[in-house]
Structure 1
């Protein structure tokens, strides 16, 4: 009798029981159900949408961050270059002729070298004509006229007693290093910078005419006078209360500053108003005394240096090298000077930015794109207003004020509605430095025209050629620049839903600023008052705290073991949710959103935020940025939207589908 069947039977038994004969005595355990696979969209939507972008934009090795919106900035810069190249070779109007000549004069480095310090020679001659203290004030006023503020600052800004107008602000200034702390502190870091600064001042003084045997004396005069101005100045505040820098006084009161001749100063700037803001009267009282007590020769040396300092980036190589070796290395962290075209473009934006913006908008913002942007912006405003009115926590009085603010809100797209006077003397191609002064004089005059009744909305704080979308609380308006209205923000080639998910959501989140904890301090009539109740404030703060706690659980991309700082990012993260929520409702217009539009909506938002950051850059952002990294600007708010979970059939508990109790809704 063969035993083979017994062996096979035993083998079969061992194959079906884990522990042989002993296991056979135990009751067989039930089989575990296999975990249902999670769809990629429900696991990490950011990675799904941005897979291609992330593959073609590898992590940088140096201390930088690459992003889709950063690429938009770079595209806007290239568009400006293309515009200026075209204006240089074939201008189509007078403004383009001016810009083309300005551009050509800056790119001609040989001509710039040959020009040397000639462009500032008339200014230096004017200063050299100072004979007594009574001549100082007129020279100060003349330098302000050409965009070189000395001794103090004077600028147009909002009248906090009447937000519908601008007034002139007199404030401290006149320091080559800006912050008074550089001159008054004595710690090692400051001393090291001051040693380098003294060398820079020496270089500029030499280039503007100081003789070797007088150089040390001239240096001491400049540093000495700047130090005295710093000692009179208030310390800089990181986040000053606007009210603390506002002190409206009648223009007639300026007669008290007889040595500064501030009444004549205003006339020289073309300002004819009845009020100004004297931020720190004590500074000007003491400065008025300095004009008379400091020798005229010291004022002459100080003013001569300030001209060379202000114009150094736009003159011949000796000036530019001195500026680069000090400011470029110490403050801009540049290992080398930017390419020449970049320097010239920056100069044009500084002195003639609105002029370039006028032509940029005409060239790069099609009428159809602007019209679509205006329509979407109006729709998201209505949706946001409905969201706020449906709030479960906002008081009735606050809802009424919010509704009034939303109704009064202006939406300005492309460029400022009120154009500038482009009457300006011909520039020509012979002297870049002279063109810089011509353009700076024009722009200063345009800024001064902002001062007076009915001029508060004349200008924007950003240029049309710079991508920007934000809320201006003083004017209760949304500002959307021409450069912002292109991919990935408003790509007219994308599906309808994508336009709402990108541009619509960004616009809505900016509008939230009118009615959130930032907007609660200015009412619909532009008056400074808190129109929230204490309970409203507590409810908003509760939502901030909850979303901050949630963000603390987000792993920071690229930093092993590090998490997002919820305290830093909670404010902007709540805005993201509020913007997306309003844009979604605007897309549906009260009706269910069709599947195709839903997918496009969410991908439109996700395509705004892809980024790749080096470890060093990520560490800096993790410690200081008020924005969550791109992955969480996508996954964070979308995981809190039931509409997203429905669109992709995500189940509660999956990464992209928060449980209802965990959702932090801005208004409910």
Structure 2
């Protein structure tokens, strides 16, 4: 069974928008009257030395990370508030009679089935035993490949990183696509780096593999032997993997093959039979990282079949462990929670199940969420903000001094073509084929996984549906999707501290305004800029403009390369380049839009701060957070976002208005001479 650890495979169906609605709990909760946490500041820090600490230093000193969290900050607070709202919805509908097959029945019974830990405990690991028996019966690598292909329809799927999505060079058509896969550690570097922290993680991973074997009846000595062999196999697979930075290049990762040509590169994999068993037929496929499949083809026949079988057994146990008895859940947490992220204890069961329902049946639960917690008035206000920032972005492109009129026209056309999705889908996704029973948690999750795969496979060769969403409505996040050329803002993030309809413009533009500008700028970062207005991977820049743009982005990468975490780890400027460009652009656009408001043009102080100061302080406080050392280390290695401090200190050091607002002078640690401040958008 898939672990369902994704956030971006959600789709669509009908809006609850501006209809009359029941009394809204959001309307009856106490209204905020204070929108800036002055007590969280540390005014002993000069704003020009470390603005993040100036705005958040007192909060950082007095805030402890809860034992069940890997970090704590504005996102976490809002996420946990949303969890409480979703929990209340689930508790309320669980207490009422719900018609079989209704959205209320499905989300309530999925929640109830996962809360029944007594029933889950009684089953132990028996739900996954049929899968283990099938794997144990395999005789050679050809039978193993047959099983792997067949397993996708069962909601599992191993070794083949398969999904269906728009062809990057023909964005109206869905294509079967394959990416590198087969690893249990975060990325290839975890198999080869020789620092002590990574070595400890590798040791913990081998111990985790062995633990799952012992929990499923294997003696300790054999389990240890199996774990070592699996680790060696994964290390061989990792050699074929691209690095996180290499994965950011859309051109290098676009490899279209006629199936017959791909077959020549993987002679021991019967692609025609594999694809048929997976449920699709296509003359061509996209393969992001062909080296992985060449290596897989070779290793399938060169490695003992027993090692491959044990590899699949481990994968089946690991991905199923969150849905099995406590011993399996604990083993999974000890590695993926404690060892990788430093989490001290597991989350409360109700929080786990709220997240599970949101991931699994997100657009059913999402309908109930937006009806209660996202008003038509909020959607209207956010839409106005988005349109304001889009208008400002047009003006700024027009005034760029480094871009030719020819490229400007195409950039403006792309900006105008943005699909804007706010709050929730216009069309809600259906889950008619998902069978949910309050007495069968594992079976429920299997049914959801089968549905998810069928949803994927049904897209092959079909026209792309651009009404689909990649996040559920309660998600505290936002995104830009280059293939759709869309910006998406779920209802979950459209709340304080990012947005409040009663807050002054400085707070809203420094908060959600910056987020909106950030997502818009992703359309023009080092990756998004390679896609045209229709979402096609296509060159639309003049050579001269492209060269100027690359020089500017190189300067951004160099700036962030200089930042450190945990004393000796440097931010990877190339891994984080797209997000850093978006942070810098988002801040500049949000500030320019703020200056068009009545407050932005005044000097009236609130909380003792000018409008401009309040804008920048709002920005700093939406990013305030602290992480466990293990989490910080993991993010430096894997996350394309810079650490929170540098998402604040990096962009403001490039914006002239911040210098003026706080009187930043030469000698201040963040000071950059005006001719060294990086300005792209």
Same-fold call, TM > 0.5? yes
Matching residue within 468, 472, 484 for 1:463: 472
Answer yes or no: is 1:381 the counterpart of 2:390. Answer: yes
Q: Aligned partners of 1:290, 1:622: CA distance in 2, in Å?
A: 31
Structure 1 equivalent of residue 88 of structure 2: 82
Q: Residues 335 and 605 from structure 1, CA distance in 2 versus in 1: closer, same or farther, beyond 3 angstroms?
A: same
Partners in 2 of 1:619 and 1:264 — Cα distance? 44
Whole-Å separation in 2 of the counterparts to 1:336 and 1:87: 29
1:114 and 2:129 aligned: no
1:156 deviation in Å? 2.7
Matched, 1:103 2:121: no
**In structure 2, how many angstroms separate the alpha carbons of the residues matched to 1:536 and 1:603?**
36
Q: Is the 8 A contact 1:59 1:612 kept in 2?
A: no
Q: Does 1:415 align with 2:424?
A: yes
Greater Rg, structure 1 or structure 2? Answer: 1
Select 2:454's aligned residue among 437, 445, 450: 445
Cα offset, 1:174, TM superposition: 2.8
Residue in 1 aligned with 2:236? 231
Bigger mean CA deviation after superposition, 422-431 or 109-118: 422-431
SS of the residue corresponding to residue 488 of structure 1 reads coil
Q: Which residue of 1 aligns with 2:9?
A: none
The aligned counterpart of 1:528 is 538
Quote the Cα distance in structure 1 between the aligned partners of 2:236 and 2:566. 45
Helix, strand or coil: the match of 1:422?
coil
CA 236–515 in structure 1, closer or farther in 2 if over 3 Å, else same: closer
Q: Which residue of 1 aligns with 2:250?
A: 242
Query: Could you tell me how far apart the structure 2 residues matched to 1:551 and 1:182 are?
Result: 21
Partner residue in 2 for 1:30: none
Q: Is the 8 A contact 2:112 2:438 kept in 1?
A: yes
Change (3 A) 1:651 1:119: closer
CA distance in 2, matches of 1:392, 1:372: 33
Give distance in 1, aligned partners of 2:664 and 2:183.
Answer: 61
| Residue 464 of structure 1, CA deviation | 2.8
Distance 1:206 1:168 in 2: 38
Q: Which position in structure 2 is the counterpart of 1:203?
A: 211
SS in 1 for 2:161: strand
The two structures have a TM-score, normalised by structure 1, of 0.75
- CA distance in 2 between counterparts of 1:237 and 1:47 reads 32
Select between 69-78 and 126-135 the one with higher mean Cα deviation: 126-135
Query: Structure 1 CA distance, aligned partners of 2:565 and 2:110?
Result: 44
Change (3 A) 1:578 1:140: same
Match of 1:370 among 355, 364, 379: 379
1 CA distance for matches of 2:79 and 2:285? 37
CA distance in 2, matches of 1:103, 1:370: 29
The yes-or-no answer on 1:434 pairing with 2:451 is: no
CA distance in 1, matches of 2:303, 2:135: 15
Where in structure 2 are there 5+ consecutive unaligned residues?
1-42
Structure 1 residue 277: deviation in Å? 1.6
Deviations 1:497-542 (A, max 9, x none): 6544533343134323334555432233434215154357537856
- Asked if 2 retains the 8 angstrom alpha-carbon contact of 1:467 and 1:481, the reply is yes
**Aligned-partner SS, 2:79:** helix
- 2:407 aligns with 398
Within a 5 Å distance, the mapping from 1:236-385 to structure 2 comes to 236-240=242-246, 241-251=249-259, 260-281=269-290, 283-284=292-293, 287-288=296-297, 299-385=308-394
State the Cα distance separating 1:76 from its structure 2 match: 2.5
- Provide the secondary structure at the position in 2 that maps to 1:411: strand
Equivalent of residue 72 in structure 1, options 78, 103, 110:
78
Question: Whose relative contact order is higher, 1 or 2, with alpha carbons under 8 Å and at least 6 apart?
Answer: 2
Counterpart contact for 1:640–1:664, Cα < 8 Å: no
Counterpart Cα distance in 1 of 2:305 and 2:620: 57
Q: Does 1:144 align with 2:152?
A: yes
Deviation at 1:286, TM superposition (A): 5.8
Matches within 5 A, 1:498-513: 498-513=507-522
**1:168-212 Cα distance to aligned partner (Å, 9 max, x none):** 2223433444645666788877665555444433332233344x4
CA shift at 1:115, angstroms?
1.8
The structural deviation recorded for 1:367 is 1.9
Which whole-Å CA distance do the structure 2 matches of 1:58 and 1:270 have between them?
55
User: How far, CA to CA, are the matches of 1:244 and 1:618 in structure 2?
Assistant: 30
- Matched residue, 2:492: 483
**Range with bigger deviation, 201-210 or 110-119:** 201-210
Residue 609 (1) aligns with residue 612 (2): no
What is the deviation of 1:566?
11
Work out the number of aligned pairs and report it.
614
2:63 pairs with 1:60:
yes
Q: Identify unmatched segments of 5+ residues in structure 1.
A: 1-39
SS in structure 1 at match of 2:83: helix
Is the Cα–Cα contact under 8 Å of residues 78 and 476 in structure 2 kept in the other structure? yes
Of stretches 127-136 and 232-241 in structure 1, the one that deviates more from structure 2 is 127-136
Distance in 1 between residues matched to 2:455 and 2:604, nearest whole Å: 48
With over 3 angstroms needed to count, the CA separation of the structure-2 counterparts of 1:298 and 1:364, relative to structure 1, is same
Q: 3-state SS of the aligned residue for 1:438?
A: helix
Q: Counterparts of 1:312 and 1:154 in 2: how far apart (Å)?
A: 22
Q: Deviations over 1:600-649 (max 9, x none)?
A: 6863563343236599799989999365458758975786169x86xx9x
In the alignment, is the contact (CA less than 8 A) between 1:182 and 1:190 conserved in 2? yes
Q: Does 1:584 align with 2:590?
A: no
Q: For residues 578 and 375 of structure 1, what CA distance do their matches in structure 2 show?
A: 18
Deviation readout 1:90-124 (Å, 9 max, x if unpaired): 37672232121111121222111112123223323
Greater fraction helix: 1
Are 1:380 and 1:586, in contact at CA under 8 Å, matched by a contact in 2?
no
CA distance in 2, matches of 1:477, 1:499: 22
1:23 paired residue number:
none
CA 86–290 in structure 1, closer or farther in 2 if over 3 Å, else same: same
Q: Give the whole-Å Cα distance in 2 for the aligned partners of 1:415 and 1:318.
A: 38
CA separation of 1:224/1:158 partners in 2, compared to 1, >3 Å: closer, same or farther? Answer: farther
